A and B are shown apart, each in its own frame.
Chain A
Amino acid sequence: MRLTRRSASFVAVAASVALAATACGGDSGSSGNDGDGGDGGTFRLGITEPVAIDPYNAQESEGILVTKQLFAGLTDATAEGEVVNVLAEEISQNDDCTEWTFTLKEGTEFSNGEPVNAAAFLRGWNRAAVQSAASDVAYHLGGIEGFSEVNEGSATELSGATAPDENTLVVTLAEPDCEFDAKTTHPVYSPVPEVAGAADNAEYNDMPIGNGPFKMAEPWQHDSSITLVRNETYGAGDPANLERVEITILNPDNAADLEYQGFQAGQFDWARLPTPQLSAAKQRFEPQGQWIEQNTNGMNYLLPIHDSAPFNSVAARQAVSWAIDRDAIISGVFQGFQTKASTLVPPAFEDFYQEGACESCAQGPDAAKAQQLAQEAGLPPGTQIKLAYNTGAGHEEWIQAVSAQLQDVLGWQVELVGQPFPELLAAQQAVGATGLFRFAWGADYPTPDNFLYPLLATPAINKNAEGVVQGDNRARYSNPQFDELVLQARAATDEAERTRLNQEAEKIALNDMAMIPLWNRTQFRLFNSNDFENVQMDFNENPNLATLSAR
């Protein structure tokens, strides 16, 4: 699972304009080339403390950044959302996509010399799946037959994953999934050596030994630093150009400020920026070719609760979408640094993107239409609705703007409910949830299905005995027609056909206004173009450390 660091939206944290805070780094002009090893150079960046860098539990952008440097898996995702082979030389599946065969590249090794073979993959998967690991990301293995037995503790090995020979992996799935290869881009599908031991091996957790382009130079210094050096025995692809990667761990409270400040001081070669500084920074750094701006695999929505009033009708949800003036919020609150969303699946999926599919998003606002729809829905002026969001993550401002627009246009009484994220989540899942919630989603693997199925398919509601929603479809959207299309797409072997079916499904969901798209997830980065070239933002919004090079 890829988690996004905070939201794509307004992060109002303290500002920084200048200042070298740092003693290290040397002279900023040539820092890229003065790494210890001489050639290759040292790339330096700041991140916030990850939950884990061991593939069994690596989850958010930062953890995945490190884990992907330490481990090479079967496949990887490109920034454009393509799946490319890494250690898999050949991938084939049977007709109904329930059995997948991966042929591995021969003769590659972990950095300690252990072979990377089919057994190493099975070891990694079983290690993450077993109950005692309590992994947050093991459910990505959930499609493999035998997962529930392992996860519930009645087995220790996935019965659906086998190694008929040293370099062949055969995976049997419980349900057809023609995009299973895309799931293997997730780090939880990484191979691990025997020294990894069980998931709770603290020594390995802090200094994983892998088969990626880099290896740990020293154990993880919690809340302080992670240092990577080039893995000279990397065999899955071309060796990294960089000699060394120095990662400074920053406090989450103003990490973006520190990164920006550090970049200006020559301490970092890659940085996020605080929102209030975006426009000044763009003016300054874009002409120097140091600016990266990219729509990534994430989306921001309002989540209406479908199974209770007031948003149990299409008209009610449409009314909201027509009433919101996205452009005004983007230009006023975000200083123009967001792009309006008009789909459920983000534009990062270029071949899939159906720009304008949400009519009200693209053409709104339209006060008259919104009022008429609200009338139809039986929600006259004075109706009380709740709009809930999580505090401390920079959503306060735009949420107030949305609330004011709903009050002005529809005359509703909007009650803003701000709470810490765990409380917001519980409120979304609870029996009797009602109203609108702030919602954002980042893709785990590069497939439109990863938006449509978990967020909107009926089985993804998954209420428990008390009626608490346990799946990610917290809108409780349920449309049999949509479900069928998404399932058909999952079973479609032809990619074009799959895209068509999913596009159809997206349109149905948008006609039902299943969720209300707000803005795309747009990310901004600065990078040091004086010392490095071929720098890009990858699928996880991180720099492409394995392929960028020093000038």
Chain B
Amino acid sequence: MGKFVVRRLLQMVLVVIGATMVLFACLFVIPGDPVGSLGGDRARDPATAQQLRERYGLDDPLPTQYVNYVGRTLRGDLGEDYRQRRSVNEILAPKLVNTAKLAAAAIVIDIAIGLFAGLIAAVFRYSFWDVLVTITTTLAIGFPTFVIGILLQKVFALNLGAFPLFGMEAGFPRAYVLPAFTLAIIDAALVARLMRGTMLEVLRADYIRTAFAKGLSKRVVVLKHALRNSIIPVVTYLGISFGTLMGGAIITETIFNWDGIGLALINAIQQQNNPIVIAVVTYSVAIFVVLNLVVDILYAVLDPRIRLE
């Protein structure tokens, strides 16, 4: 186990290094001078632009810039952005929290709706509820996030006036409802289908039959025995679907004007505010890799038959 974790940690480091190198190479070849322009339609004064290029080391060769970046990042310093010249950590910290809150709300919805619907569908197989869950989840996965977002805005904000159209000002829970559902719906549908499938398998397993044979009630068997085992793949799925969640967050934050790192990334790309781009991508790659490790370890813990070597 320990050996496995160490090896995986090493691999993780390699992956993050590789990903940031790919990113750096990409940003380096983008045409246009990242400090050559100002926020509106203006060029920056050439003398000032030159001063900033020196300040940010933009005239250095790519490998030098990369080494400096790694050095800084290892010290926990993600540098200074090109627009306001503020610390990237300081700019992104509140946005990271906002994205995390949105993602957490979405995951809660995924689990609550997904598990419940999947459970109901499996336990009452072929019932009206099963058909309903199957049809809804099948249709839901056909809806792209941005269509869901606009649709929810149209119906629940514009027509019904039940929730704010966008923004975070209304606070929890009102401001969270529409964006969190937008982000969650597809995953909730997938979780429900996954849950239904695994639950059906588990219910057929020998030990469940044994439990029934012992005269335990259906509720006890399902909730105490079957649920625990069916939840493993769901946990795995949620861990691994982080990339999807991140992509969804970019779109959701854009639609709902949510002040998170996804929106920050899109704005920074338009402005070539590279320190922000690099920081957000580094965050998401790192989180993804760590989550995967956690999922693998968790999996081994939950299912002793898996050998980690």
Whether A and B touch directly in their complex, counting CB atoms under 8 A apart, is answered as: yes
Q: Which residues of A contact B (CB under 8 A)?
A: 1, 3-7, 14, 16-24, 49, 51-52, 59-60, 131, 134-136, 138-139, 151-152, 222-223, 248, 250-254, 257-258, 261, 390-392, 419-427, 429, 439-442, 462, 464, 470, 472, 474
What are 22 A-B contacts defined by CB distance under 8 Å?
A: A3-B42, A4-B40, A4-B41, A6-B40, A14-B257, A17-B158, A19-B165, A21-B164, A21-B165, A52-B84, A60-B40, A131-B51, A252-B267, A391-B270, A419-B31, A420-B269, A420-B270, A425-B33, A426-B31, A429-B36, A439-B41, A440-B41
- Are the CB atoms of A421 and B166 closer together than 8 Å? no
Q: In chain B between 151 and 185, which residues have their CB closer than 8 angstroms to a CB of chain A?
A: 153, 157-158, 161, 164-167, 169-171, 175
Q: Which residues on the B side are within 8 Å of A470 (C-beta)?
A: 43, 46
- Taken together as a complex, chains A and B put the C-alpha atoms of A439 and B169 apart, in Å, by 35
Q: Which residues on the A side are within 8 Å of B40 (C-beta)?
A: 3-6, 60, 442
The answer, among A151, A261, A425, A464, for a CB contact under 8 Å with B37, is: A425
Is B7 at the interface (CB under 8 A from chain A)?
A: no
Q: Which residues on the A side are within 8 Å of B42 (C-beta)?
A: 1, 3, 472
Q: In chain B between 218 and 267, which residues have their CB closer than 8 angstroms to a CB of chain A?
A: 254-255, 257, 259, 263, 266-267
Q: Which residues on the B side are within 8 Å of A392 (C-beta)?
A: 270
Q: Which residues on the B side are within 8 Å of A152 (C-beta)?
A: 47
Q: Which residues on the B side are within 8 Å of A1 (C-beta)?
A: 38, 42
- Taken together as a complex, chains A and B put the C-alpha atoms of A3 and B45 apart, in Å, by 13
| Chain B, Cβ-Cβ closest to A438 | B41
Greatest chain A CB density within 10 A among B51, B86, B164, B167 is at B167
Is B32 at the interface (CB under 8 A from chain A)?
A: yes
Q: What's the nearest-Cβ distance from chain A to residue B235, in Å?
A: 34
- Are the CB atoms of B45 and A422 closer together than 8 Å? no
Q: Which residues on the A side are within 8 Å of B30 (C-beta)?
A: 423
- Are the CB atoms of A60 and B39 closer together than 8 Å? yes
Q: Which residues on the A side are within 8 Å of B255 (C-beta)?
A: 14
Q: Which residues on the A side are within 8 Å of B75 (C-beta)?
A: none
- Are the CB atoms of B32 and A425 closer together than 8 Å? yes
- Are the CB atoms of B166 and A14 closer together than 8 Å? yes
Q: Which residues on the A side are within 8 Å of B272 (C-beta)?
A: 420, 422-423
Is B65 at the interface (CB under 8 A from chain A)?
A: no
- Are the CB atoms of B170 and A422 closer together than 8 Å? no
Q: Which residues on the A side are within 8 Å of B171 (C-beta)?
A: 23
Is B68 at the interface (CB under 8 A from chain A)?
A: no
- Are the CB atoms of A472 and B94 closer together than 8 Å? no
- Taken together as a complex, chains A and B put the C-alpha atoms of A422 and B51 apart, in Å, by 17
Q: Which residues on the B side are within 8 Å of A151 (C-beta)?
A: 47
A-B CB proximity, top 10 nearest: A3-B40, A21-B164, A423-B32, A422-B32, A426-B32, A470-B46, A422-B272, A139-B45, A134-B51, A425-B37
Q: What's the nearest-Cβ distance from chain B to residue A364, in Å?
A: 25
- Are the CB atoms of A222 and B48 closer together than 8 Å? no
Given that A3-B42, A420-B269, A420-B270 are known contacts, is A23 also in contact with B257, CB under 8 Å in the complex?
A: no
| Chain A, Cβ-Cβ closest to B98 | A223
Q: What's the nearest-Cβ distance from chain B to residue A354, in Å?
A: 24
- Are the CB atoms of B257 and A251 closer together than 8 Å? yes
Is B91 at the interface (CB under 8 A from chain A)?
A: yes
Given that A3-B39, A253-B254 are known contacts, is A134 also in contact with B167, CB under 8 Å in the complex?
A: no
Interface range for B: 35 or more
Is B204 at the interface (CB under 8 A from chain A)?
A: no
The answer, among B41, B55, B164, for a CB contact under 8 Å with A19, is: B164
- Are the CB atoms of A253 and B32 closer together than 8 Å? no
- Taken together as a complex, chains A and B put the C-alpha atoms of A51 and B40 apart, in Å, by 11
The answer, among A51, A250, A440, A464, for a CB contact under 8 Å with B83, is: A51
Given that A5-B40, A222-B86, A439-B41 are known contacts, is A23 also in contact with B170, CB under 8 Å in the complex?
A: yes
The answer, among B43, B95, B157, for a CB contact under 8 Å with A472, is: B43
- Are the CB atoms of A3 and B38 closer together than 8 Å? yes
Q: Which residues on the A side are within 8 Å of B51 (C-beta)?
A: 131, 134
Given that A21-B170, A136-B45, A420-B270 are known contacts, is A253 also in contact with B263, CB under 8 Å in the complex?
A: yes
Q: Which residues on the A side are within 8 Å of B46 (C-beta)?
A: 462, 464, 470
Greatest chain B CB density within 10 A among A253, A429, A464 is at A253
- Are the CB atoms of B271 and A21 closer together than 8 Å? no
- Are the CB atoms of B36 and A16 closer together than 8 Å? no
Given that A261-B165, A420-B269, A422-B272 are known contacts, is A223 also in contact with B37, CB under 8 Å in the complex?
A: no
- Taken together as a complex, chains A and B put the C-alpha atoms of A134 and B44 apart, in Å, by 11
Given that A251-B263, A422-B36 are known contacts, is A134 also in contact with B271, CB under 8 Å in the complex?
A: no
Q: What's the nearest-Cβ distance from chain A to residue B13, in Å?
A: 32
Q: What's the nearest-Cβ distance from chain B to residue A251, in Å?
A: 5
Q: Which residues on the B side are within 8 Å of A390 (C-beta)?
A: 41
Q: Which residues on the B side are within 8 Å of A22 (C-beta)?
A: 164, 169-170
Q: In chain B between 26 and 68, which residues have their CB closer than 8 angstroms to a CB of chain A?
A: 30-34, 36-48, 51-52, 55
Q: Which residues on the B side are within 8 Å of A261 (C-beta)?
A: 165, 167
Q: Which residues on the B side are within 8 Å of A427 (C-beta)?
A: 31-32
Given that A23-B170, A135-B48, A257-B166 are known contacts, is A420 also in contact with B32, CB under 8 Å in the complex?
A: yes
- Taken together as a complex, chains A and B put the C-alpha atoms of A426 and B267 apart, in Å, by 19
Given that A19-B157, A51-B84 are known contacts, is A251 also in contact with B45, CB under 8 Å in the complex?
A: no
| Chain B, Cβ-Cβ closest to A153 | B51
Extra 14 A-B pairs, beta carbons < 8 Å, given A49-B84, A223-B94:
A3-B39, A19-B158, A20-B164, A21-B166, A23-B170, A51-B83, A134-B48, A139-B48, A223-B259, A253-B254, A423-B31, A425-B33, A427-B31, A442-B40
- Taken together as a complex, chains A and B put the C-alpha atoms of A1 and B44 apart, in Å, by 10
Q: Which residues on the B side are within 8 Å of A139 (C-beta)?
A: 45, 47-48
- Taken together as a complex, chains A and B put the C-alpha atoms of A24 and B164 apart, in Å, by 14
Given that A21-B165, A21-B170 are known contacts, is A421 also in contact with B271, CB under 8 Å in the complex?
A: yes
- Are the CB atoms of B167 and A21 closer together than 8 Å? yes
Q: Which residues on the A side are within 8 Å of B166 (C-beta)?
A: 14, 16, 21, 254, 257-258
- Taken together as a complex, chains A and B put the C-alpha atoms of A408 and B33 apart, in Å, by 35
Q: Which residues on the A side are within 8 Å of B269 (C-beta)?
A: 420
- Taken together as a complex, chains A and B put the C-alpha atoms of A532 and B32 apart, in Å, by 46
Q: Which residues on the A side are within 8 Å of B90 (C-beta)?
A: 222
The answer, among B34, B38, B257, for a CB contact under 8 Å with A254, is: B257
- Taken together as a complex, chains A and B put the C-alpha atoms of A19 and B109 apart, in Å, by 25
Q: Which residues on the B side are within 8 Å of A419 (C-beta)?
A: 31-32
- Are the CB atoms of B270 and A421 closer together than 8 Å? yes
- Taken together as a complex, chains A and B put the C-alpha atoms of A59 and B55 apart, in Å, by 20
- Taken together as a complex, chains A and B put the C-alpha atoms of A253 and B34 apart, in Å, by 20
